[in-house]
Structure formats: C-alpha cells, structure tokens
Amino acid sequence: MMKLASIFKKKTEAKRADASEAATPQTDVFQGTAKKRVSLARSRVAFVTVAFVAVYAVIGGRLVHYSLAKEDGTVARAAAPLTLARRPDIVDRNGAIMATDVRMMSLYADPSMITSADDVLEALKPIFPDLDVKRAYRLLRSRGEFVWLKRQITPRQQSQVLAAGVPGVGFRPEVRRFYPGGPEAAHILGLVDIDNRGLSGIERYMDKTDGISGLMGLGLTGSMGLKPFEVSLDLRAESIVRDTLVRGVEKFEALGATGIILRADTGEVVALASYPDFDPNNPPPASDKRMLNHAITGVYEMGSTFKLFTLAMGLESGKFNLQSMVDAKTPLYFGSSRIGDDHAQNRILTYPEVFTYSSNIGASRIAGAVGPDYQKNFLEKLGLLDRIETEIGGSGTPQKPQKWGGVFSATVSFGQGITTTPLQTAAAAAAIINGGKLMPPTFLPRTPEEADRAATRVISEDTSDKMRYLLRLNGTEGSGRNGQVPGYRVGAKTGTAEKIIDGKYAHDHNFNAFLAAFPMDDPEYVVLVTIDDPKKVEGVPGRTAAWNAGPMTGEIIRRTAPILGVDPDFGEDGNARLAAY
C-alpha cells in the first residue's frame, strides 16, 4: 500500500509539472501584450502633452514678441504691460485734475503678411503726412512679425486706415498722458515718455517714490485703481499767476518772468510759474529754453529784497533795534569801490528808514557792524547759500562770495555779488515773517504739524514781529506801494538789480523782483514776482521793480486772495497791532 501511494503521488506531481510547463508560454504572451498597450498609451499622452506645450509656447512667444516691440520695430527693454498700464491722476489740493490718462490706439504692421511695402506706404502717407517713409519702408521689409508704424494715433486716423483697407496692419490699445491745463504748471508736473513713464517733475517723483514704474512694468496699475496723487498747488491760483506773467512780459517787453505763492505757515507751494513755458501735451526738445524753470533752476542777484534779510540779521544780532540810528550821510568807499544810495537822504537814518528808503549805505553799515562771519552764518541758516532739494528736482546752485568781509559783505547786504533762486528767496522770506521758522518748500500737501516737525528756527518771534512791521511800513510808505490791495494789508519790498552783461553791470538792463506777504498782522501767504529785463513803456514812469513787478504782484494778490480763503478786512486793527512796534 505504501508503494502504491508513493507511485500515485509521483504521477500526480508529474502531471502538475506538465500542466505548468504547458501554461507558461500563454501567460507570457498575455502579459507582454498588456505592457505594450500601456507603453503605447503613455507615449500617446506624452505626445499630446508635448504638442500642446509647443503650440502654447509658440503663441506665448508671439505675444511676448509683439508686446516687446518698440516704435522702431526692435525689441523693447520692458514688458508689454508698460504700454497698457495707467498712471494715477495728478490732482491739485482741491481735487481738480491736472494730469490724467486717455485711451489711444497705435498702428503696427506684420511684415510677414505684407507683399508690397510700397503699396502699404502709398496708402498710409496721406493719412500720416509726418510719417518717416524711409524708416517705415525699412521696417516693413524686415523679417520680423511685429513693428510699430505710428504710436498714439487719433480716432480719425484709425478710421481712415480702416477705410483704406491697408493689408498687414493692425491696432493696439495704449494710454497717453493728457494735461487738461496745457502749459499751466507744466514745469511742476513734468513729462512722461512714449511708454507713460515719468521723465521729470512730479511725474518722475511719483515713479521714484511710489513705485509706479515697477507696477507699470508688471502691468498692474491699470486694474489696481490707484488713488489720485495730490499736490499742494491750487489750480485756480496757478492759472492766475501764469496769466499775470504772460501779460506782464508782453506789456513790458521782457525776456521772461516768474511768480510764486507760498504758504507762510507750512511752506507749501500754492502756485509757481515760469514764463516762457511749454505745453506738455506737445513738448519741445529738452534743449529748448522754454523747458527751463527759472523759478527753481535760475539763480539771480535778487537786489534790494536782500535788505529784508540784512535788517532781520541786525535785529537778531542784538546790535540794533527799531530805534537805532544808522549813518547814511555820505557814500562808503572800499578802495576804488563806491557804495551810494539811489535815493540818497544824506543824513542819519532811523532803522525803519534804512528799509523804506532802501539805503545801500545803511544796509552796508549793518552788515559791517555784525561782522562777516555772523552774516555768512545767518544767510546759511536761511537756506540762501546752498542748493535746496524739492520733489521736482532741478534746483540751481547759489553763487556766493569767495571771501567775506569788506566790500563783499557790503554788497551782499543789498543783494549784489550773491545769487540765489526765486523759490529760495520766497522760502527765506516766509521764515522771516511767520514767527522765525524756516520750512523746506514742498509741492506736496503738508499739515501744520508736519511743517513744525520739518521746521528749523532761524530768528526769534520778536525779530519776526518787528520785520512784519517793517514790511508793512514799506508797503504803505515806501517802494511797495504799487503792490497794495485794499483790505489785505500787504507788506512788500522791491529789488532792482542790474544785470551782468559781458562781465559788467549794465545800467540799462535790470532783473526786478517784488517780494510781498499778506495780511501782515497774521501772514498767510508770501508772493514773489520777478521779471527779466523789462523795458520802460509808455504810460509807466520807470522800469524799476516798483513799476512792473510791483503791480503784477498786486494783481496776483487781488485775484487770488479771495479764492485762497483770505477775507478782506478794511478795519485798522491789523495796522494798529503792527504800529505798536
């Protein structure tokens, strides 16, 4: 039995082995077929994926190429969104728009779709008479697929191109900066380039400080809804100042003029104009003289307006008071240099009379008494000897004497032998009459608290009070009478400086300035007008500052004071308070 069981077991195992050997080839064939199917499916998916990636890469590449094309048909340095991104509006202190973006269309061509560049140009030339035909022909014959033909065209030009059915051309939307006021505040607002990036003025300041350029590079500003950028200007006052300058230059046949309105308590520039000017919507070349902002970049001898600082210096030094007497009986001599008075009184003058008679002799004696070191330090504290910085840049560098003392200190005391900018002069004057605090002028809104933090005390309140009295006195009894406006108690000082021509002072060519503030018992605004080389005209007694810059300043105050919120006061209280000194 054991033997039979063993034989049966061996036969069973042999059958199982034979069955296993018979089944193995069939299983291998099945498994191999399955693997081939999986591999084939994977290959198909990979092929489709690569095809999609390739197609979209080509499309994306074309879009990037189109977006990077410059006006001259080459690849630009910045991404496409630059041409579509919007800049924030610039608004004045009352919310009036001074700069904004408008939607435009630009004309481009695909050279690969153009069979005859001559035919295209023949169709476009009547629509764009200023088209550079040689350049356009070169671009149309290039191997590229996107070239700019004309940036920022008008709707009429676009419709004419469509009507002409020009093959191979198309349109792309862009934005263009628009300045509703034209030349008003042009020197302050500045310019942008063809891609809407700031080049100068507030436009450039925005890009530098608010990161507008970076956002534009990412194409984000168009959809972010950036809030308007507010400046300190009052567009109404700006318009009045410019209008007054234009008419003044025409009337007095002058080379140019500037006008500034500065808030005395904050240093905010409410209006600033330099004429001749330009229209930023259609600007001239950068080298054009109209592009120069004479109120900030130009440096001039400001003449007798400097006596405001000289008399403040005398009071602040403690060597003089309003009861002091100053010898002006005879001219002063420094070697071969002679200093005399245009309206010589040939007597000892009171301290206020030095101001109202605008005595060069008296101012020289005050400078001599305080000493050259004190004089230099005092003018430095007022910010008159060094270049100032503002948001719009471009400030001129003052010129000062190589050495101080003697005739140099004497001439500086009445504004000769030293140059500075009109804006610096206005800012220093504000410090003299606002209680003694010098604040850097700004084109941005500034609260009184912010102004206090930025301020530097340069004279005492007592000295400031006395200088307000002297300014008001000169406005009513001295050379400032022609700048008076009833009800506004204007204090003023004239400055008539002889221009230097061919290295010599020319007696028949002047640079005139009229410095004013109002109302003098509680000053709110400083106004400075300069006029370059005015002529003596019929019906006007003279060509000094009292007869041209003075009436222009009065006109500005008369027209702007009501809109700036300064109510007229025809009472005598203000004058009485000043007279107490």
User: Catalytic positions, please?
Assistant: 304
Q: Are 68 and 75 in contact (CB under 8 A)?
A: yes
Distances (CA, A) of 274 to 92, 206, 271, 355, 488: 18, 22, 10, 29, 25
Q: Which two tokens stand for residue 105?
A: 């269309």
Half-sphere exposure of residue 369: CA atoms within 13 angstroms, side-chain side = 21
356 CB-near residues (< 8 Å, 6+ apart): 470, 473, 474, 477, 478, 479
566 CB-near residues (< 8 Å, 6+ apart): 488, 518, 519, 524, 525
Residue 451 gets which letter from DSSP?
H
**Please, is 369 exposed, middle or buried when counting C-beta atoms within 10 Å of its C-beta (0-12, 13-18, 19+)?**
middle
Q: Residue 539: which region, alpha, beta or left (left: phi > 0; alpha: psi -120 to 50)?
A: left
Buried-exposed string 333-364: b where 16+ CB fall within 10 A, e elsewhere = eeeeeebebeeeeeeebebbbbbbbbbbbbbb
103 CB-near residues (< 8 Å, 6+ apart): 173, 174, 175
Q: Are 397 and 389 in contact (CB under 8 A)?
A: no
**Separation CA 185–CA 188 (nearest Å):** 5
What percentage of the chain's residues is helix, strand, coil (to nearest 5)?
Answer: 45, 20, 35
Q: Which two tokens stand for residue 83?
A: 């041409």
Comparing C-alpha atoms, which of 517, 381, 393, 398 is closest to residue 443? 393
**Separation CA 384–CA 387 (nearest Å):** 8
φ, ψ dihedrals at 175, nearest 5°: -120, 150
**Separation CA 512–CA 547 (nearest Å):** 10
